Structure 1
């Protein structure tokens, strides 16, 4: 079965609002064996919406988002009324907002219109799919594998022969992120034993680079391991400015393992809060191995935790490429691991990269 997605909104086409609805619909429709043939983005104009609806044939479903509200630029309902000649639609409950969704049928095609607000649309679509597709036997199945600390180019080499050996009804995709590469296996009428064998082979080939065999994040997998092993941590952040703490506390159960964290952005804060002496900073520089080591050990001791994590660095943007680097440190009572990393992206990406590097060091230590 096939579908078309129509995203309506001037604010999206003007670049003021980032669309996430299309990705959500595509992903969840595929899980229900519905393939999205095309996605279009159009303006809040009645004639434009009608024109796009008239071109929507050779599909089983059409999903529209945006333009159902009460403001002057919300014209989707009017366009649908014209297209369907004032035929009354079924109303889809909106438990979050005020505008209900609309369900029309015409010439064997089902048309669903949702509000454009993602928080509303996603709940409504989720409930609809559960009702619409709950009795359908699924032929599509997926396996998601999270890897960290290995580049996509290296993965391609390591998995070259493995990929060739996959069954014809199982396709593999590489989804690179910052310091992370996700592997997705899409099976059509694939037996569960196939995925079990894939997991086994990947464990042999990638070993400790794998952090999950489902869609949980790196930080969630770390939190789960820390809880299971009754290990706690503390964090001292300089260049990452609270990013690591944010990632950790975004996971349910973080309070069981994160005892405390501090943002010691200035030299003054490092001296007063973590007792890093001004002489050490002056002699070695604030971004140095000895300073990050002192930070990690100090935060561990002050919070009385099993591990202390610390970061210090130049996040950019800077004029000289070689000035973009950071030091990270993971300290325990028996071992201290430091790492110098070179940064080549935007400031925001560099902060995330540095955060994931130190979290990966923690993950490796608690395996």
Structure 2
């Protein structure tokens, strides 16, 4: 605390024995603890609404050091608090990311702005999401950019199967922050453009959902090697019933024949993992469902089942509309679980590019 005007702590505010942040702060400054009845009632209301059995140790989450100002938690049971000691501020909030992200701007930032107006900066931030390039290669491609000279901090964040570049500019005016951020973004885009699929916090499935809704298109999905993962990701977005009509996991050859009308002779000649089969799967599910689009996946997730011609990690992805069917072939070198994630990512990216007119 002697080294800073404010200290921010996250975590350790739950009801269990190892949640000791509140007690530690109180002990550090020789402060008694008190129970906040309004916070306790809030916690009990949450339990009642969720039909949970009340356990007395949850009362611990309504205990605070004397003199602390409660920071409300609208998303959970663990409230935070702000405490001023000898002119210094201590902020304690939950470690659960979504709760932290909600409480920090509402409960911490206003106090910091009021107490330290001379330190206020304008922050401009941009997340650039890439796929199909490693974290090391991202760094290598950007190594000639002098971000410090541009007045921007850069961070690299692997979020499998993606790699994110986060640019942050802190300046004395909003205009200066935005200007410097744009210059840095332009430099990054010039070097990574073919790998970039998003500028911002939206997930790939959220982008796809927005495009399908915007264009008022419906889709059906036929999955083999991905086992429903593509559909799962599509339905992670609220409102997916507006565009997703149905999906089928046609894992066996018999399922591909009986449900999607893929001719057995095609599978026998080319194999279940082939461009020909992928195309017919996409066309079959589109016709079966009566949708605008049909999306399919067939591949070898591993660890066994590969061959010299079709190694483990091989996938064929197809997308069909009333006028054409496009197919893409990739080989990824991961374990089974990661291969499936890569397959689903590539399928959604193909769909996104098609909807944006980039892949037809």
Query: Normalising TM by the smaller chain, what interval?
Result: 0.7 to 0.9
Q: 1:352 aligns with which of 336, 341, 344?
A: 341
- Give the structure 2 partner of residue 168 of structure 1: 150
Counterpart Cα distance in 1 of 2:239 and 2:13:
38
Is 1:63 equivalent to 2:45 in the alignment? no
TM-score, normalization: structure 2?
Answer: 0.73
Alpha-carbon RMSD across the aligned residues, in angstroms, is: 3.2
Distance 1:166 1:178 in 2: 28
- Shift of residue 360 of structure 1? 1.6
Corresponding position of 1:138: 121
Q: Residue 208 of structure 2 aligns with which residue?
A: 222
1:345 deviates by 1.4
2:93 pairs, out of 88, 106, 114, with 114
1:318–1:324 contact (8 Å) kept in structure 2: no
Deviations 1:229-278 (A, max 9, x none): 33332211111122211222222443333222222223332222212233
Query: 1:152-231 to 2 correspondence within 5 Å?
Result: 163-164=145-146, 167-178=149-160, 180-189=162-171, 190-197=176-183, 209-231=195-217
Unaligned runs of 5+ residues in structure 2 are 33-65
Cα distance change of structure 1 residues 364 and 142 upon mapping to structure 2, 3 Å threshold: same
Match among 256, 268, 272 for residue 282 of structure 1: 268
Counterpart CA distance in 2 for 1:110 and 1:290 is 65
Alignment equivalent of 2:223, drawn from 237, 251, 256: 237
Structure 1 counterpart of 2:130: 147
Contact kept? 1:208, 1:364, Cα under 8 Å: no
Moved more, 127-136 or 274-283: 127-136
Deviations 1:335-357 (A, max 9, x none): 22222221211222211111111
* Cα distance change of structure 1 residues 103 and 194 upon mapping to structure 2, 3 Å threshold: closer
State the 1:197 CA deviation. 4.9
User: Which one of 56, 61, 80 corresponds to residue 101 of structure 1?
Assistant: 80
| Whole-angstrom distance in 2 between the partners of 1:320 and 1:328 | 17
Query: 1 CA distance for matches of 2:201 and 2:296?
Result: 27
**Structure 1 length-normalised TM:** 0.72
Shift in CA distance, 61/133, structure 1 to aligned 2, threshold 3 Å: closer
Q: How many residues align?
A: 311
Q: Which residue of the partner structure matches residue 76 of structure 1?
A: 21
Secondary structure of the corresponding residue to residue 350 of structure 1: helix
Matches of 1:196 and 1:117, distance apart in 2: 32
Residue 364, structure 1, aligned to residue 353, structure 2: yes
Mean alpha-carbon deviation: is it higher for 357-366 or for 277-286? Answer: 277-286
Aligned 1:19-58 pairs, distance under 5 A = 56-58=1-3
